[in-house]
Amino acid sequence: MSNYERLKDDSPITQNPPPYSDKDSHEDPEPTKPLIGPEPHRMGWPSNPVPSQYQHYGAAGAGSHQVPILQLPQTTILIRGPPANEPDYLAYSICTMLCCCLPLGIAALIYSMQTREANLNGDVIAAKRNSRMARLLANTALGVGCVFVVVYIIILAIMYTNVKNQHPHN
């Protein structure tokens, strides 16, 4: 016997299709009428895993044996720790932003606000890190601003002496 003949003899046995409802498929089923026919066996699952209040109704033959997966909403509880007490250097950051070096002052201001937020949330580690960075950036902005002022004064003094040397009688 050839492989073809064996395959022909071992052809699968087809089952009759499930009975269909008397109603047309485009009509809505009655909402109080339960599913037609037994629910298929699901490898160890209980025969009706969904509580009756979540029972799925639908037209027979249109996927009515599929049970929707339902999940109850989960509650999330946020617990805030005690507020941290790290200095935020907000006023110092604003002064260095306006008077010394704008870019570094803006960065210091951002870290100052993040420090204040971390203090309110009780995140001590983030509050310490942001506080240290705000202080570092504000000090750097102050140093850069002082250097600019000193360089500006030196340039003005040099220009004044050059003008004075060109006009000795004034």
Per cent of the chain over pLDDT 70 is 56
More confident call, 26 vs 110: 110
**Predicted local distance difference test score (pLDDT) of residue 103:** 95
Q: What is the pLDDT of residues 83-105, one digit of tens each?
A: 889 999 999 999 999 999 999 99
On whether the CB atoms of residues 36 and 21 are closer than 8 A, the answer is yes
CB contact set of 56 (below 8 Å; sequence gap of 6+): 35, 50, 64, 66, 67, 68
- pLDDT of residue 38 exceeding 60: no
Query: Could you tell me the sign of the dihedral formed by the alpha carbons of 41, 42, 44, 46, in that order?
Result: negative
**Highest mean pLDDT pick, 39-48, 63-72, 135-144:** 135-144
**Predicted local distance difference test score (pLDDT) of residue 101:** 93
pLDDT-based confidence at residue 27 (cuts at 50, 70, 90)? low
**Predicted local distance difference test score (pLDDT) of residue 130:** 97
Token reading at 168:
């000795």
Burial classification of residue 118, based on how many CB atoms lie within 10 Å of its CB (0-12 exposed, 13-18 middle, 19 or more buried): buried
**Predicted local distance difference test score (pLDDT) of residue 124:** 92
Q: What is the pLDDT of residues 111-168, one digit of tens each?
A: 999 999 999 988 999 999 999 999 999 999 999 999 999 999 999 999 999 998 887 6
**Predicted local distance difference test score (pLDDT) of residue 8:** 58
pLDDT-based confidence at residue 169 (cuts at 50, 70, 90)? low
- For the chain, the domains span 90-166
* DSSP helix, strand, coil percent of the chain (3-state; round to 5): 50, 0, 50
pLDDT-based confidence at residue 76 (cuts at 50, 70, 90)? confident
Distance CA 115, CA 137 (A): 13
Give, as one character, the DSSP assignment of residue 43.
T
